[in-house]
Amino acid sequence: MTTQSSLTDGFQLVVDALQANGVDTVYGVVGIPITDLARTAQAAGIRYIGFRHEGSAGNAAAAAGFLTQRPGVCLTTSGPGFLNGLPALANATTNCFPMIQISGSSARPLVDLQRGEYQDLDQLNAARPFAKAAYRIGRVEDIGRGIARAIRTAISGRPGGVYLDIPGEVLGQVMPATAGAASIWQVVDPAPRQLPAPEAVERALGILGRASRPLIVLGKGAAYAQADNVIREFVETTGFPFLPMSMAKGLLPDSHPQSAAAARSLAIARADAVLLVGARLNWLLGHGDSPQWSEDAEFIQIDIAASEFDSNQPIAAPLTGDIGSVMTALLEGVSAQPVSAPAAWTDEIAERKARNDAKMRERLAENPHPMRFYNALGAIRTVLQGNPDVYVVNEGANALDLARNVIEMELPRHRLDTGTWGVMGIGMGYAIAAAVETGRPVVAIEGDSAFGFSGMEIETICRYQLPVIVVVLNNGGVYRGDEAVSGTDPAPTVLNSGARHELLAEAFGGKGYHVTKPAELEAALSEALTARRPALIDCELDPAAGVESGHLASLNPARANAPA
Ligand code: ADP
pLDDT tens profile 115-128: 999 999 999 999 99
Give pLDDT, residue 4.
53
Q: What is the mean pLDDT of residues 258-274?
A: 98
> In ligand 1, which atom is closest to the CA atom of 247?
3
pLDDT at 555: 81
Mean pLDDT on 100-129:
96
The CA-atom distances, in angstroms, between 18 and each of 14, 27, 71, 437 are 6, 13, 11, 17
At 551, the pLDDT band (50, 70, 90 cuts) reads confident
Q: Is 336 exposed, middle or buried (0-12, 13-18, 19+ CB in 10 A)?
A: exposed
Give the binding-site residues of ligand 1, using a 6 Å CB cut-off: 95-96, 158-159, 219-221, 224-225, 245, 247-248, 278-280, 282, 284, 303-305, 308, 322-323, 420
Q: List the domains of the chain with CATH numbers.
A: 7-183 (3.40.50.970), 198-351 (3.40.50.1220), 366-540 (3.40.50.970)
Q: How far, in Å, CA of 85 to CA of 76, rounded?
A: 7
Closest CA to 23 of 66, 64, 76: 64
Check: CB of residue 72 under 8 Å from CB of residue 433.
yes
Distance CA 22, CA 46 (A): 10
CA torsion, points 550, 551, 555, 560, in degrees to nearest 10? 90
pLDDT at site 412:
98
pLDDT tens-digit readout, 401-441: 999 999 999 999 999 999 999 999 999 999 999 999 999 99
Q: Does the structure show a pLDDT above 50 at 349?
A: yes
Got the DSSP string for 439-459? -S-EEEEEEHHHHHTTGGGHH
User: Which of 220, 320, 322 should be mutated for ligand 1, with most atoms under 8 A from CB?
Assistant: 220
Nearest to 414 by CA among 57, 63, 60: 63
Which residue lies with its CA nearest to atom 10 of ligand 1?
221
CA atoms within 13 A on the CB side of 545: 24
Please compute the mean of the pLDDT values over residues 382-397 and round it to a whole number. 97
Fill in the DSSP letter of residue 541: B
Helix axis angle, 54-68 relative to 427-438, nearest 10°?
A: 50
pLDDT at 549: 81
pLDDT of residue 559: 64
- Paired sense of beta strands 391-395 and 7-9, if any: unpaired
Axis crossing angle, helix 10-20 with helix 143-155, rounded to the nearest 10: 40
Pocket probe mutation, ligand 1, options 280, 282, 315, 325, max atoms within 8 Å of Cβ: 280
Reported as a pLDDT band with limits 50, 70 and 90, residue 341 is very high
> Which residue's alpha carbon is at the smallest distance from atom 7 of ligand 1?
280
CA of 308 from ligand 1 middle (Å) equals 9
For residue 221, how far is its CA from the centre of ligand 1 (angstroms)? 3
**How far apart are the CA of 525 and the centre of ligand 1, in A?**
33
Contacts of 234 (CB under 8 A, 6+ apart): 216, 327, 330, 331, 334
510 C-alpha to center of ligand 1: Å? 37
Q: Hey, whose CA ends up nearest to atom 21 of ligand 1? A: 221
Relative to the CA of 94, which ligand 1 atom is closest? 6
Of the ranges 38-47, 363-372, 522-531, 532-541, which one carries the lowest mean pLDDT score? 363-372
pLDDT of residue 560: 61
Summarize the confidence of residues 333-344 as an average pLDDT: 97
* Calpha distance 562→564 (Å, rounded): 6
Cβ partners under 8 Å of residue 392, min gap 6: 384, 403, 407, 409, 414, 415, 416, 442, 443, 444, 445
Does the model's pTM come out above 0.75? yes
**Distance between CA atoms of residues 3 and 175, nearest Å:** 10
What is the H or E stretch that residue 379 is in?
helix 373-385
Tell the residue nearest (CA) to atom 16 of ligand 1: 158
Whether residue 441 has a cis bond before it, omega within 30° of 0: no
Ligand 1 mean position, distance from CA 388 (Å): 25
CA of 96 to the centre of ligand 1 (A): 7
How far, in Å, is the centroid of ligand 1 from the Cα of 481?
A: 36
- Partnered with residue 394 across adjacent β-strands are 417, 445
Rg of the chain over Cα atoms, rounded to whole angstroms, equals: 25
Instruction: Yes or no: say if 209 and 337 are a contact pair by the CB < 8 Å rule.
Output: yes
Q: Is the pLDDT of residue 337 over 90?
A: yes
| C-alpha 220 to ligand 1 mean position (Å) | 6
How does residue 562 score in pLDDT terms, banded at 50, 70 and 90?
low
How does residue 548 score in pLDDT terms, banded at 50, 70 and 90? confident
Q: Ligand 1: which of 158, 277, 285, 417 to mutate, most ligand atoms within 8 Å of CB? A: 158
Q: Is the pLDDT of residue 381 over 60?
A: yes
The SS3 assignment for 176 reads: strand
Q: Identify whether 33 is preceded by a cis peptide bond (ω within 30 of 0).
A: yes
- Measured from the Cα of 191, ligand 1's closest atom is 23
Q: Which residues does 35 contact at the CB level (< 8 Å), separation at least 6?
A: none
Pairwise CA distance, residues 372 & 524, whole Å: 17
**Per-residue pLDDT, 558:** 72
What count of other Cβ atoms lies within 10 Å of the Cβ of residue 302? 29
Given this model, what pLDDT does residue 311 score? 97
Q: Report the C-alpha gap between 197 and 418 in whole angstroms.
A: 34
Nearest atom in ligand 1 to 225's CA: 23
Q: Is the pLDDT of residue 446 over 70?
A: yes
* CA dist 262 → 213, 231, 259 (Å): 17, 20, 8
CA of 94 to the centre of ligand 1 (A): 10
Q: What are φ and ψ of residue 68, in 5° steps?
A: -115, -10
CA 257 to centroid of ligand 1, rounded, Å: 25
Which pLDDT value is given to residue 557?
81
Pairing of strands 174-176, 7-9: antiparallel
- Name the residue at shortest CA distance from atom 14 of ligand 1: 280
**For position 485, what pLDDT does the model report?**
85
Mean pLDDT value across residues 532-552? 92
The chain-wide mean pLDDT, for the chain, equals 96
Q: Residue of the nearest CA to atom 20 in ligand 1? A: 221
**How far, in Å, CA of 21 to CA of 148, rounded?**
8
Phi then psi for 518, rounded to 5 degrees?
-55, -40
Q: Does the pLDDT at position 103 exceed 60?
A: yes
Check if the beta carbon of residue 238 is closer than 8 Å to that of residue 340. yes
> Among 323, 416, 417, 421, which residue has the most ligand 1 atoms within 8 Å of its CB, making it the best to mutate?
323
Question: In which element (H, E) is residue 49 found?
Answer: strand 47-50
pLDDT(476) > 50: yes
Instruction: For residue 133, give the 3-state DSSP assignment.
Output: strand
C-alpha distance from residue 525 to each of 376, 384, 443, 457, 459 (Å):
11, 9, 9, 20, 20
Q: Which helix (H) or strand (E) holds 154?
A: helix 143-155
Averaged pLDDT for residues 284-308:
97
CA 285 to centroid of ligand 1, rounded, Å: 13
pLDDT category, 564, cuts 50, 70, 90? very low
Q: Whose CA is nearest to atom 22 of ligand 1?
A: 322
Residue 139 predicted with pLDDT over 90 = yes
Please answer whether residues 382 and 525 qualify as being in contact, where contact means their C-beta atoms are separated by less than 8 angstroms.
no
The answer on pLDDT for 1 being more than 60 is no
Give the tens place of pLDDT for each residue, 3-35: 556 999 999 999 999 999 999 999 999 999 999
Q: How far is the CA of 552 from the centre of ligand 1 (A)?
A: 22
Q: Are 71 and 98 in contact (CB under 8 A)?
A: yes
Q: Do residues 9 and 173 lie in contact, with contact meaning Cβ atoms separated by under 8 Å?
A: yes
- Contact predicate 13/176, CB 8 Å: no
Query: Poorest-confidence range of 56-60, 353-357, 483-487?
Result: 483-487
For ligand 1, the distance from its centroid to the CA atom of residue 339, given in whole angstroms, is: 25
CA–centroid distance, 521 to ligand 1, in Å, is 36
